[in-house]
Structure 1
Amino acid sequence: MVFFGAGILPGGQAAQAADKPSAVQGKTFTIGTDTTFAPFEFRDSSGNLVGIDMDLIRAIAKDQGFNVEIKSLGFSAALQALSSNQVDGVIAGMSITDKRKQVYDFSEPYFDSGVQMAVAKNDNTTKGYDDLRGKTVAAKTGSEGETYAKSIADKYGFTVKSLDQSATMYELVKSGNAVAVFDDYPVLAYGIAQNNGLKTVTDKVPGASYGFAVNKGQNPDLLAAFNDGLAKLKANGGYQKILDTYLKAPQNTAPSSFWDLLAQSMPALLSGLGNTLLVTAISFLFAMLLGLLFGFLKVSQNIVLRGVATTFVNVFRGTPLLVQAFFFYFGIPQLTGQPINIWVAGVLTLSLNSGAYVTEIVRGGIQSVDPGQLEASRSLGLSYLTSMRRVVIPQAFKIMTPSLINQLVILLKDSSLLLAIGFAELLYQGQQIYAGNFRVAETLLIVGVMYFVVIMLLTKLANIVDKRFNK
């Protein structure tokens, strides 16, 4: 007998159904997922995205004959990507709730969750919910842990602080800024096995089930294929094998020392650093072109041109860069119906935002040149454009150079905000690493040192160029 989502088909019908080509066979689907939800999705020491969700979707894809492209975005960003059709489906330990059913279509449940409370390993006073009165607890945004914690918060008199990452929540507890954390029990069990510094103090409370989600009314063939593949995996033992890999006595695979962590992390961090430098270089080039264009418009004698430049500056300097990143990557596809490449979204965000600041640098540099310089050159018979190009601009560029170097450094650091849309820059790679091994402080120290070294080298190089060309 072969299992098909809704039930069991008789032998003859099952054979015919098994021989019938799948409607998704040969197709490629983009699947969004979280970045920090071990053991459901995380990166191993080699940088590969693994976990229950990842093994499950890949096994189902193989069985059903379709291909998957995984986008590790973060839970909230993955849902936004789904809503904007940047991805075809989401698998991220996502609880099936009545509210979400209004927006998404869910597969059959593939995991029955539950919630536990954990405290710092050295905390011997917090032993249950009664000890939480007047204190703060942490929970992950959109999770069953958050839902359950809020449901009992008034009864036990505690405050819930919601965060986006499990690893960050655990650090909050260990640092004493929260007394406990509410999280899904398999996530806690895996983290404790990796020495995340916590211990559970309550029994598991039954929670909602996890499901694979697609937009409501869309991709029914993909949803049907997931259900079919899931049923087959459960029937042949493959499903249980995947669960046992991560949940049955999980082994501590975290690096044993700082140097082991450094060695294991460096390939992924260098890859992220390369992306950071590349997106910074491309964005700064476009920012300079935009800044020069709108900078000249701002000192134009034409009121319309000045108004266009002023509007550009006000819009992109007056809104947060993170909002711009979300708009370009998630908003534009919803407005146009066309997905946008994450590199394009990243470069657009950084270029336009930085271009607004470069515009003001250019305007300030030009206006800092003594007006008498322009008047003198015009009196000698030079045209306005020639006077600007040969007399004003060279002097203005010397004035602008320190500010442009500073803007380049700011742009490089601002690129870290692109992790919110899943861009694989340096800090994003750091998050991927500590999501699996829970070595948050040490990983961030390595990332910080790498940023510091690169920025110092970049600043020195820029200063050398400045001295050479602005003697």
Structure 2
Amino acid sequence: MTMNLDFTSVHPSLPFILQGIGVTLQIVCLAGILGFLFGVILSLCKISSIKVLNWIADAYTSIFRGTPLILQLMIIYYGSPQILGYQIEPVAAAVLAFALNSAAYISEIIRAGILAVDKGQKEAAMALGVPYRPMMLNIILPQAMKNILPALMNEFITLTKESAIVTTIGVMDIMRRAYQVGADQFKFIEPLLLAGIIYYLMVTVLTFLGKIVERRMRSSD
């Protein structure tokens, strides 16, 4: 039995599939930014001397790391009418779900980066009378970022690949468009392979950009 692939039949649909790149990048970028900002807040709560903040941040991380991302996405999207009284738009639901999930992982990455910074930096800042907030923003976090950049880039790449699950709630991303082309032509292998190539190229570009940023940050030491 042979598998006959014919990409000429799906070639006219390639522009339609490529339009999904914008949707995917919109979700990933917004979720990545929100997830990073929330992750910073969670990480600061985890290293705080206030036990209640420690417990809340740890409980949040445990829940979002311990349950499937697709479950979180479906609860936010399909549960919004029951919880909020109105239906959240698919893209908004995707951004929210990915941001909340990513924040849990990013908070652990940032926490580890902060704890890896030499304690002498914090002690010197405190001795000079630098307030806690400026100390974290201007001294500790910038140094931690250099150490955790590879891990953050890996999380962003993972987020890019996992974004394909938004097809389950009808978002017209790369995967959804490829599936729709396959359904229209009764040929799924070719459009899905094209989608796979697109995701692979996106991840390759992100990896390359991440290495460039990492080299520049290290050369600035």
Instruction: Tell me the TM-score normalized by structure 2.
Output: 0.91
Match of 2:125 in 1: 377
CA distance in 2, matches of 1:265, 1:438: 13
Match of 2:187 in 1: 439
Structure 1 counterpart of 2:39, one-letter code: G
CA distance in 2, matches of 1:382, 1:338: 47
The answer to whether 1:315 aligns with 2:63 is yes
Contact 2:35 2:99 in 1 (8 A): yes
SS in 2 for 1:340: coil
Match among 346, 359, 362 for residue 107 of structure 2 = 359
The answer to whether 1:405 aligns with 2:153 is yes
The answer to whether 1:424 aligns with 2:197 is no
Contact 2:106 2:152 in 1 (8 A): yes
SS in 2 for 1:382: coil
Structure number with the higher strand fraction is 1
Structure 1 unpaired stretches of 5+: 1-121, 123-173, 176-196, 198-255
- Give CA deviations for 1:16-69 in whole Å, capped at 9, x if unaligned: xxxxxxxxxxxxxxxxxxxxxxxxxxxxxxxxxxxxxxxxxxxxxxxxxxxxxx
The answer to whether 1:272 aligns with 2:20 is yes
Structure 2 counterpart of 1:285, one-letter code: I
CA distance in 2, matches of 1:288, 1:322: 20
Offset of 1:448 from its aligned partner? 0.9
Match of 1:258 in 2: 7
Offset of 1:314 from its aligned partner? 1.5
The answer to whether 1:449 aligns with 2:197 is yes
CA distance in 2, matches of 1:400, 1:293: 16
CA distance in 2, matches of 1:380, 1:328: 46
Offset of 1:467 from its aligned partner? 2.4
SS in 1 for 2:25: helix
SS in 1 for 2:19: helix
Sort the Cα spacing of 1:307 and 1:450 in 2 relative to 1 into closer, same or farther, 3 A.
same
Structure number with the higher helix fraction is 2
Offset of 1:375 from its aligned partner? 1.6
Offset of 1:276 from its aligned partner? 0.6
CA distance in 2, matches of 1:465, 1:459: 10
Query: Which of the pair has the greater relative contact order for Cα pairs under 8 Å at 6+ separation?
Result: 2
Offset of 1:372 from its aligned partner? 2.5
CA distance in 1, matches of 2:66, 2:6: 45
CA distance in 2, matches of 1:297, 1:335: 27
CA distance in 1, matches of 2:123, 2:83: 49
CA distance in 1, matches of 2:125, 2:74: 48
**Aligned Cα root-mean-square deviation (Å):** 2.0
Offset of 1:420 from its aligned partner? 0.8
Structure 2 unpaired stretches of 5+: none
Match among 368, 375, 392 for residue 140 of structure 2 = 392
SS in 2 for 1:439: coil
Match among 4, 9, 34 for residue 286 of structure 1 = 34
Structure 2 counterpart of 1:372, one-letter code: G
- Give CA deviations for 1:283-305 in whole Å, capped at 9, x if unaligned: 11111111111111111111111
Structure 2 counterpart of 1:301, one-letter code: S
CA distance in 2, matches of 1:444, 1:356: 31
User: Alignment identity in percent?
Assistant: 35
- Give CA deviations for 1:54-90 in whole Å, capped at 9, x if unaligned: xxxxxxxxxxxxxxxxxxxxxxxxxxxxxxxxxxxxx
Structure 1 counterpart of 2:212, one-letter code: I
CA distance in 1, matches of 2:106, 2:136: 18
Match of 1:334 in 2: 82
SS in 2 for 1:386: helix
Offset of 1:342 from its aligned partner? 1.1
Match among 320, 325, 346 for residue 73 of structure 2 = 325
Q: How many residues align?
A: 219
Trace 1:32-431 onto structure 2 (pairs within 5 A): 257-261=6-10, 263-431=11-179
Contact 2:6 2:190 in 1 (8 A): no
Instruction: Tell me the TM-score normalized by structure 1.
Output: 0.44
- Structure number with greater Rg is 1
